[in-house]
Amino acid sequence: QVFLREQIAQPVLEEFSVVYQPIVDLGSGVVRGVEALLRWQHPELGAVSPADFIPMSEYGGSIRVLGWHVMTEACTQLGRWRRELPDHRLAVGINVSIRQLDEPRFAERVLALVAAHGIEPDQIVLELTEQALAVDFETAVTVVADLRAGGVSVAVDDYGTGYSSLRYLHRFAADVVKIDRSFVAQLEGSAHTEKIVRSVVHMAEGLDLQSIAEGIETVAQLELLRDLGCELGQGFLFSRPVPPGEITALLRDGH
Ligand code: G
Ligand code: G
Ligand code: MN
Ligand code: NA
């Protein structure tokens, strides 16, 4: 743990890569977007899970460097997909930690990066967790307003695991709600979970938010979510997070 903490304090960017998990239209099966997820291949430790190193890098401060690495990679890749797959207009979800939001001129820098890569701001969906939003709500409100004014979309990630305050949805006017995978995992056989998910989907609809269900692993979950009116989803049933070339191949095959 100590070794890991030392290593993540000064990240060697070449050891990090970004994989992408498809986000699928639950009605048609068409891929509408992807979520970018960071991976770390350490020369001695091997693959280190982001569940371990992200919290450490948030604590130590290197999340800012890593965050810009992911953001730059994802924008570069979107530019490539735009040239390689002109018929598809993918959106990319990028996870953003609260420690990134309070960087000076964060929104401005994101918009500059988008412009530099010749992609549209509405192809970027920044994913913020409820927990992150709770840390410094006023900063988050300001930065989210600047991002959305520039055309970048914002998602509330892991919805339902934090305070689930309507205040977030009210003051952010977010664009997307991502229903946490713990709810999806309990859907089958629980009428209660089903009611909760149905309520979230209806609330999202009423607020003109897209809903994305996370962690779909079975056909039964897919069918339930589709029947509840959930528009989009992601999970191992469709695909694990994969390198960008596999996304290109998948889309070329007509998905
Ligand atoms: O993909 P995976 O299960 O390995 O991710 C575990 C956790 O790490 C998830 O909560 C995910 O949101 C987070 N995570 C993955 N990539 C990034 C990233 O680029 N930035 C941030 N802040 N979190 C990430
Ligand atoms: O916190 P966030 O939602 O960003 O985390 C995404 C994480 O969920 C990633 O680590 C990803 O690998 C993982 N994940 C994606 N699909 C599934 C799934 O179907 N089941 C499970 N258990 N995890 C998943
Ligand atoms: Mn996410
Ligand atoms: Na999530």
pTM score, whole prediction: 0.96
Spell out the residues 6+ positions from residue 174 whose beta carbon is closer than 8 angstroms to its own: 144, 154, 155, 156, 168, 209
Query: DSSP characters for 31-61?
Result: EEEEEEEEEEEETTTEEE-HHHHHHHHHHHS
Q: Which ligand does the CA of 63 lie closest to?
A: 1
Burial of 64 (0-12, 13-18, 19+ CB in 10 A): middle
Mean pLDDT over residues 41-64, rounded? 95
Rounded CA separation 71/73 (Å): 6
Name the band, by pLDDT with cuts 50, 70 and 90, for residue 161.
confident
Residue 234: what pLDDT?
A: 98
ipTM: 0.96
Q: Does ligand 2 have an atom closer than 6 angstroms to the CB of 215?
A: yes
pLDDT of 164 over the 80 cut: no
Q: Whose CA is nearest to atom 4 of ligand 1?
A: 50
Mean pLDDT of the chain: 93
Spell out the residues 6+ positions from residue 153 whose beta carbon is closer than 8 angstroms to its own: 91, 122, 124, 125, 126, 175, 176
Helix (H) or strand (E) holding 110: helix 106-116
Mean pLDDT over residues 67-93, rounded? 96
Domains belonging to the chain, first-starting first, are 2-248 (3.20.20.450)
Q: Does ligand 2 have an atom closer than 6 angstroms to the CB of 181?
A: yes
Tally the C-alpha atoms within 13 A of residue 99's C-alpha that lie toward its C-beta: 15
Q: Which ligand does the CA of 125 lie closest to?
A: 3
Spell out the residues 6+ positions from residue 157 whose beta carbon is closer than 8 angstroms to its own: 95, 127, 128, 129, 130, 178
Q: What number of other Cβ atoms are within 10 A of residue 3's Cβ?
A: 10
Helix 63-84 with 106-116: angle, nearest 10 deg? 30
Q: Whose CA is nearest to atom 10 of ligand 1?
A: 51
Sign, CA torsion 144/149/153/159? positive
Name the band, by pLDDT with cuts 50, 70 and 90, for residue 1.
confident
Rounded CA separation 56/185 (Å): 27
Residue 255: what pLDDT?
A: 60
Q: Does ligand 2 have an atom closer than 6 angstroms to the CB of 150?
A: no
